[in-house]
Amino acid sequence: MALPTDSLVERKQLKRQIMRWRTVAIVSVALAVIGLLGLQNEELSPVSTGDYIARVDVNALVTDDRKRNEMLQELKKDEDVKAVLVYCDTPGGTAVGGEELYLQLRDIASEKPVVALMRDVCTSAGYMTAIGADYILARAGTITGSIGVIVQSVEVTELADKIGVKPVIVKSAPLKATPNPLEKVTEDQREAVKDVVNDFYRYFASLVQQRRNLSDQQLEIVADGRIFSGAQALEYNLIDAIGGEREALNWLAENHELDAGAKVRTVQPKREAAQWWKALEQMSNLSFLSESSLTLDGMLLIWQPVPR
């Protein structure tokens, strides 16, 4: 039975309205993403408005980040920036990521004071970052420490054998591509990897000893990989005081003649406008695709990596 002409017209109008609203919704989302990116870039490159203290966040997993390094160099050069507060809330990350942050903070500290503020967790590469500051604060309940290095892998040779998979491996020397999940690790291979781990561990431990002015005996206690609460860290001289931003500003006022009520501005690395995917990922809650949830390569300075 044919529909009346009026009904057909109403249906067409309804379809057009639905399409119109769909278009509006898509455009709105696109504008929101553009606005988000624009807001970020404005926050990251503020127009000079006088003296201020820069607040920098080091969150999630620490990796080498060119944009972040560029931002830190800009903070060093900016005469309006009188000090830098580094908020550390990270379980750690890669060896190079922690090393780079440490060196960047020491470079800034050659020109202006740097204060590290540990939050919930500041371990491993996070702690390496913190000791780059002139002064370290933590809360009593902060988890810190975990001074050590790890290279981790899995061995699935028995599993492969059970399911009838026989890996074929051709390599130029016995120590090539070690550790390899598809072959049993020999003692020589284990020692070769351990040598690399110990080499960077010695570097890490030497930084801790130098920056925190620890004796060999004190270092032996704190650098065995264990974690500490903020209160314990203070007892072992891994930090300078218990506190937060207010205490940091008071320290700057007392030791560097900066106004305790000075303006504090959060700054972040400049990101390319092409980072649409990251913004959309946050809006759509696709965190399982984020870089921080993937396996990190290389030597790690990390405590309790949590899948996101």
Burial 69-93 (b: 16+ CB within 10 A, else e): bebbebbbebeebbbbbbbbbbbbb
Residue whose token pair is 């002409």: 5
Q: Which two tokens stand for residue 123?
A: 């371990």
Q: Of 82, 124, 146, 278, which is the active-site residue? A: 124
* Beta-carbon contacts of residue 307 (< 8 Å; ≥ 6 apart): 293
Q: Enter the tokens of residue 276.
A: 């649409």
223-238: pLDDT as tens digits: 999 999 999 999 999 9
Query: What pLDDT is recorded for position 51?
Result: 93
- Given this model, what pLDDT does residue 59 score? 92
Alpha carbon distance 131, 237 (integer Å): 11
pLDDT tens per residue across span 60-96: 899 999 999 999 999 999 999 999 999 999 999 999 9
Q: What's the full length of the chain, in residues?
A: 308
C-beta separation of 248 from 134 below 8 A: no
| CA-closest candidate to residue 82, choices 115, 104, 106 | 115
Rounded Cα distance, 148 and 122, in Å:
13
Catalytic residue check, 124 = yes
Task: Give pTM, 2 decimals.
Answer: 0.78
Closest CA to 87 of 120, 65, 45, 63: 120
What class does CATH assign to 50-302? alpha beta
Mean pLDDT of all residues belonging to the chain: 84
How far apart CA 272 and CA 289 sit, in angstroms, is: 19
Answer whether 93's CB lies under 8 Å from 62's CB. Answer: yes
* The pLDDT of residue 136 is above 60: yes
Rounded to the nearest 10°, the torsion over CA 241, 247, 248, 252 is: -110
Could you report the per-residue pLDDT of 185-201, keeping only the tens digit for each? 899 999 999 999 999 99
Lowest pLDDT segment from 110-119, 183-192, 277-286: 277-286
DSSP calls for 256-287: H---TT--EEE------TTTHHHHHHHHHT-G
Q: How many CB atoms lie within 10 A of CB 159?
A: 11
The catalytic residue among 15, 171, 176, 263 is: 176
Please tell me the predicted confidence (pLDDT) of residue 161.
84
What pLDDT score was predicted for residue 23?
Answer: 64
Does the pLDDT value for residue 47 go beyond 50?
Answer: no
Return the domain boundaries, the chain. Answer: 50-302
Active site (annotated) includes residue 278: no
For 250-284, letters b (16+ CB in 10 Å) and e give ebbeeeeebeeebeeeebbbeeeeeeeebbebeee
